[in-house]
């Protein structure tokens, strides 16, 4: 008999029973209870069967071995039934799972309706009790995993997303003494970051608001600014109240008048949406104002999942490259400093990953990566064979140590295709070197690092995605001094870096480096900041998660 056919009678029994009776939590006491040995025998039989039947609906597959190990550790005693009585904690578990939407997860993935059908049975058989026990444990395990590590596999969503730091805290929960301890420990598995907690509260706000109110839309038209009057101004004011940029007040005002209070609120809105904060509602501002609440809820959910891919605890000393904010934040010895950065262009995305910075190079020679040589240098050489000498480059026959230096003017560059380019290009240290005076290294397979740049004008731009993937620093000297501060030798060396040529400095303390990507973050005032999705990664999240911004009364 197939697995599906074996399960059909089980679930039909549950559904028929629930259709003929009203669920009542008092039914947790089993009528004519079966013996404990009967239940234990059924649990052992049902573990493998039910695990195969209840594979995850979507997302990252849960390692089923953890559920098996949990039962093996208990000699297949049921987890949710003690003294022939269903433990009340299973009802609390169902409540928690039904609220999983508040973390951007979907309750349907945790089989709550099926568990409730079993709980509604007035006289469940040993087999039905065993099935319920195993399904509840699978649901607990799946939710514990998803809340702790994230539900989805980041690299299956985006190969350039390489930051995934799973932990085993959720597995340890399965080995606690009782079901009550397990359920009570579930909320502790969520990321403890204050940013996550604020995002999670805002998600609940947007979900509740979307379920209770219609989106207030501002009718497109001519820009609105201070002094304007009319119904569109009233729409603007009402939308800013709905989004939290204006606190509701009983003070009597002319809702159709664009006054200073409305301008200040609009500036707050523009700042947290990375729009030019001029206090005027032009077409871009109105377009942002009219983004539906449900769409915003989805964006928040994507970013909650991204937080779950990070380590459960971040190191107190770290370098944090915030790609969507074009900034580097350095947390060192209880001090926080920040500077602007330039990141990879849309067609040369800076990947998301974690590295360990171990050394820096003063006045580095730049060995041009293959991709940049093929895509940048070769076309320029095909136009001008003297390009290398004009810009301080040397040419070598190959990438080996003993490669012979060549004269680039003696090579027919037009006859060389990208896939046949095998030369090594090096740019000597000087004021025009693409790496500037400093290169900060955290070895990784992406060949990404932080560095100085002679193109200082780019830091005046608002959107700074101009590099070939590496991260350029606004204040490289200050950064170098900060990370070598505890070593007098290295600090002295930096007093006049122009005297040092291609010098490697080992850092006195290695520093973790995070390159992260968030499109929604809390700002300093606790309001949400919605950023441009510069690498179009939210669309990939939506495709992978199949997500709609459901409310407590909806599911996918």
- Of 259, 291, 323, the residue that ends a domain is 291
Q: Which two tokens stand for residue 368?
A: 């041009």
Cα–Cα dist 98/551, whole Å: 11
- Of 513, 530, 548, the residue that ends a domain is 513
Q: Which two tokens stand for residue 96?
A: 């928690």
* Same domain for 112 and 33: yes
Is 259 part of a structural domain of the chain? yes
**CATH classification at residue 358:** 2.40.440
Is 309 part of a structural domain of the chain? no
* Same domain for 33 and 173: yes
Is 235 part of a structural domain of the chain? yes
Determine the pLDDT at residue 174.
93
Q: Could you tell me which of 97, 140, 109, 200 has the C-alpha nearest to residue 552? A: 97
Is 536 part of a structural domain of the chain? no
3-state percent helix, strand, coil for the chain, nearest multiple of 5: 45, 15, 40
Q: Could you tell me which of 301, 240, 275 has the C-alpha nearest to residue 463? A: 275
Determine the pLDDT at residue 50.
76
Residue range of the domain that includes 476? 314-362+436-513
DSSP tag of 246:
S
Q: Which two tokens stand for residue 71?
A: 């039962």
Q: What is the pLDDT of residues 503-529, one digit of tens each?
A: 899 999 999 999 999 999 999 989 999
Sign of CA dihedral 223, 227, 229, 235: positive
* Same domain for 124 and 150: yes
* Same domain for 28 and 77: yes
Backbone φ and ψ for 178, nearest 5 degrees, come out as -140, 160
Is 522 part of a structural domain of the chain? no
Which of the residues in the chain have pLDDT under 50? Answer: 1-31, 57-58, 61, 548-556
Q: What is the pLDDT of residues 444-453, one digit of tens each?
A: 999 999 999 9
* Same domain for 454 and 423: no
Is 211 part of a structural domain of the chain? no
233-to-42, 237, 373 alpha-carbon distances in Å: 67, 6, 54
* Same domain for 105 and 252: no
* Same domain for 220 and 158: no
Residues marked active site are found at 451, 470
* Same domain for 275 and 263: yes
- Of 404, 428, 452, the residue that ends a domain is 428
Q: How many domains does the chain have?
A: 4
Determine the pLDDT at residue 495.
65
Query: Which residue reads 């969520």 in tokens?
Result: 190
Is 117 part of a structural domain of the chain? yes
Cα–Cα dist 534/523, whole Å: 19
Cα–Cα dist 152/148, whole Å: 12
Determine the pLDDT at residue 462.
93
* Same domain for 457 and 356: yes
* Same domain for 424 and 443: no
Cα angle vertex 184, ends 181, 190, to 5°? Answer: 125
Q: Could you tell me which of 358, 343, 364, 372 has the C-alpha nearest to residue 466? A: 343
DSSP tag of 498:
G
Cα–Cα dist 310/305, whole Å: 9
Residues near 52 by beta carbon (within 8 Å), at least 6 away in sequence: 3
Q: Could you tell me which of 348, 356, 333, 416 has the C-alpha nearest to residue 380? A: 416
Is 519 part of a structural domain of the chain? no
* Same domain for 225 and 150: no
* Same domain for 492 and 449: yes
């Amino acid at each position: 008999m197939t697995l599906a056919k074996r399960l059909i009678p089980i679930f039909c029994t549950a559904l028929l029973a629930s259709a003929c009776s009203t669920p009542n939590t008092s039914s947790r006491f089993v009528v004519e209870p079966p013996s404990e040995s009967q239940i234990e025998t059924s649990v052992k039989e049902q573990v493998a069967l039910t695990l195969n039947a209840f594979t995850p609906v979507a997302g990252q597959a849960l390692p089923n071995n953890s559920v098996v190990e949990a039962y093996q550790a208990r000699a297949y005693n049921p987890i949710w039934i003690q003294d022939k009585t269903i433990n009340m904690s299973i009802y609390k578990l169902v409540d928690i799972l039904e609220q999983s939407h508040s973390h951007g997860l979907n309750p349907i993935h945790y089989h709550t309706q099926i568990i409730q059908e079993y709980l509604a049975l007035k006289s469940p058989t040993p087999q039905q009790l065993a099935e319920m026990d195993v399904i509840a444990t699978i649901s607990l395990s799946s939710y514990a995993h998803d809340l702790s590590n994230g539900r989805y596999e980041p690299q299956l969503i985006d190969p350039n997303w390489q930051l995934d730091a799973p932990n085993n805290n959720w597995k340890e929960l399965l080995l606690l003494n009782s079901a009550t301890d397990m359920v009570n420990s579930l909320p502790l598995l969520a990321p403890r970051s204050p940013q996550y907690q604020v995002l999670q509260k805002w998600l609940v706000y947007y979900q509740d608001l979307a379920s209770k109110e219609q989106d207030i839309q501002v009718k497109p038209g001519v820009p609105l600014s201070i002094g304007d009057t009319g119904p569109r101004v009233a729409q603007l004011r009402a939308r800013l109240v709905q989004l939290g940029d204006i606190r509701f007040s009983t003070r009597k005002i002319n809702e159709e008048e664009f006054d200073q209070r409305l301008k200040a609120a609009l500036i707050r809105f523009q700042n947290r949406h990375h729009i030019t904060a001029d206090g005027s509602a032009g077409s871009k501002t109105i377009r942002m104002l009219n983004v539906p609440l449900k769409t915003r809820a989805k964006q928040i959910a994507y970013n909650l999942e991204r937080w779950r891919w990070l380590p459960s605890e971040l190191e107190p000393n770290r370098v944090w490259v915030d790609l969507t904010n074009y900034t580097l934040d350095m947390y060192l010895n209880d001090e926080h400093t920040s500077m602007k950065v330039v990141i990879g262009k849309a067609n040369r995305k800076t990947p998301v990953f974690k590295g360990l910075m171990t050394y820096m190079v003063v006045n580095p020679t730049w060995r041009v990566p293959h991709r940049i040589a093929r895509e940048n240098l070769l076309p320029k050489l095909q136009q001008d064979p003297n390009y290398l000498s004009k810009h301080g480059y040397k040419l070598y026959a190959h990438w080996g140590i003993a490669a012979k230096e060549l004269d680039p003017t003696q090579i027919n560059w037009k006859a060389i295709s990208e896939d046949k380019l095998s030369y090594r290009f090096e740019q000597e240290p000087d004021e025009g070197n693409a790496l500037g005076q400093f290169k900060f290294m955290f070895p990784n397979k992406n060949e990404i690092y932080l560095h100085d740049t002679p193109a200082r004008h780019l830091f005046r731009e608002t959107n700074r995605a101009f590099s070939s993937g590496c991260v350029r620093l606004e204040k490289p000297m200050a950064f170098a001094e900060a990370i070598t501060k505890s070593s007098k030798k290295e600090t002295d060396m930096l007093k006049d870096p122009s005297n040092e040529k291609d010098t490697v400095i080992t850092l006195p303390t290695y520093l973790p480096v995070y390159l992260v990507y968030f499109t929604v973050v809390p700002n300093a005032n606790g309001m949400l900041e919605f950023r441009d999705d510069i690498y179009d990664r939210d669309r990939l999240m939506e495709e992978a998660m199949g997500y709609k911004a459901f409310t407590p009364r909806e599911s996918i």
